[in-house]
Structure 1
């Protein structure tokens, strides 16, 4: 029985390897067939489900992506790609809150493993998109409710002053109680929509190289804060010096700027529209 079981597992692994070869050649249909055979042989191996989900992802077959990624995660919840793929499927369904949770799980798994996987950038991009779309959806609803409430308040105020005989302006043309209350009402509702009104992100929250809001800010010995990935690329491709001060700089000298990171998170919590890229 053990030998038979081992033979089945070996056959499944061969099908996975063949599927990977087909995937690299963009033969997605053939790859799906190989992974499907591997799953039939060993349905408890998470990577087979995830690899097939990735093929469906390339084809934008979102229902199948969701199904396979969920099966993969049920077997191994630590799969970064599994959470990423599931998040993408949920994003397509406009289930933004659920998609955000999956993307955040994927990022947290990368951070806990101290990985510098380039996939982090892809995850951040879709996470930012999901958070912006979630804000946009709820913002539209909030603005509509606020406008409806404003109109109802104006109507009630007008009716009150009409019945009280104080609706008309004073004889000298000056503003009366009704007009003053209307102005005050407008100010109150204007302030209520401020959080949903996009403005320029403060400069200190943006990288001096990309002009985008910080994701992983680090500070140099010169006291300048940069986006980590961007600065590392500069050190690797341009030279070991600070881009602004031109002072000598090595990767080991970079220190996470926790204060700026906390400020960014606080700002994004109050202004989710800032998840738009290119601030």
Structure 2
């Protein structure tokens, strides 16, 4: 590559960067159309720079233009699969299209990347909140479909029992309705049992933080064997004192160990009882 080519590429790169800065300034002023124009010009000059794509995707997100959010996020991921924001925004776009399984997968990818790249997880809280929403919407969508199917099946079974009962009355002159009523009651119990997992109840105590009484997201265990939500116990150690709030024994943040068994138990509970994600959403919104 000759000197002229190097100078040209350097000039193009500088021009694209200037356009990115212009786009950023417009974005800060909520001038999303102007920001999109600037990022688009930068992309035209340097299409292999992923940040230009994620910046433009964020502008589209602000406009609720989810099709373009998805397009730009996918292009950014093609260029760099480790981009947290690209996976995050793609996840949001897929959830908007009710592609919940794929959306959840992208949000989980963003969460894993953020934890790996940033020990303190700069976007963890935001991603977890959106992930909980996505999983709740996924459950709600499935619940609505299941409820409709169960109701139709129940009505069909009841209709069949009633028809059988009617025929027996006509053909065999049976006057006792006891057996028929018992069959209907048994049928009701069967369908109620099937629907139990979808009915909100109390979350078991062992799956909840001792301080907040909320279901765990990131449980950690202390040397004394007690489990707390990581953010909550760290806040206690920072603002109250370096001791276990229950046992009062000395406790340092370095002594906290992830409680993987409880984390797996929480996930198993949430997989079975998707309604519980609503508690996580409400907690995140109020904190």
Deviations 1:218-254 (A, max 9, x none): 0112322111122223323333222333332211000
Change (3 A) 1:132 1:195: same
Residue 59 (structure 1) aligned to one of 34, 59, 63: 63
Does 2:173 correspond to 1:194? Answer: no
* Residues paired across the two proteins, number: 275
Unaligned regions of 5+ residues in structure 2, if any? none
Does 2:76 correspond to 1:72? Answer: yes
Secondary structure at the aligned position of 2:228 is classed as strand
Change (3 A) 1:167 1:51: farther
CA contact (8 A) 2:50 2:76 kept: yes
Change (3 A) 1:110 1:178: same
1:160 aligned residue? 164
Change (3 A) 1:2 1:97: same
Secondary structure at the aligned position of 1:179 is classed as helix
Residue 137 (structure 1) aligned to one of 136, 141, 146: 141
Q: Distance in 2 between matches of 1:216 and 1:17?
A: 37
1:232 aligned residue? 234
Deviations 1:173-223 (A, max 9, x none): xx6322221111111111011111111211211122333221110011232
2:151 aligned residue? 147
CA contact (8 A) 1:235 1:241 kept: yes
CA contact (8 A) 1:167 1:178 kept: no
Q: Distance in 2 between matches of 1:108 and 1:50?
A: 18
Q: Distance in 1 between matches of 2:173 and 2:98?
A: 47
Does 2:41 correspond to 1:37? Answer: yes
2:254 aligned residue? 252
CA contact (8 A) 1:161 1:167 kept: no
Q: Distance in 1 between matches of 2:163 and 2:42?
A: 73
TM-score normalized by the length of structure 2:
0.88
Q: Distance in 1 between matches of 2:272 and 2:148?
A: 19
Unaligned regions of 5+ residues in structure 1, if any? none
The Cα of 1:167 is off from its aligned counterpart by 8.6
Q: Distance in 2 between matches of 1:151 and 1:3?
A: 77
Q: Distance in 2 between matches of 1:223 and 1:137?
A: 39
Q: Distance in 1 between matches of 2:87 and 2:232?
A: 25
Deviations 1:53-72 (A, max 9, x none): 11222333323222211221
TM-score normalized by the length of structure 1:
0.90
Q: Distance in 2 between matches of 1:167 and 1:153?
A: 23
Residue 185 (structure 2) aligned to one of 153, 169, 183: 183
Residue 127 (structure 1) aligned to one of 124, 131, 134: 131
Residue 219 (structure 1) aligned to one of 195, 202, 221: 221
Change (3 A) 1:267 1:183: same
The Cα of 1:169 is off from its aligned counterpart by 5.3
Secondary structure at the aligned position of 1:240 is classed as coil
1:111 aligned residue? 115
CA contact (8 A) 1:169 1:176 kept: no
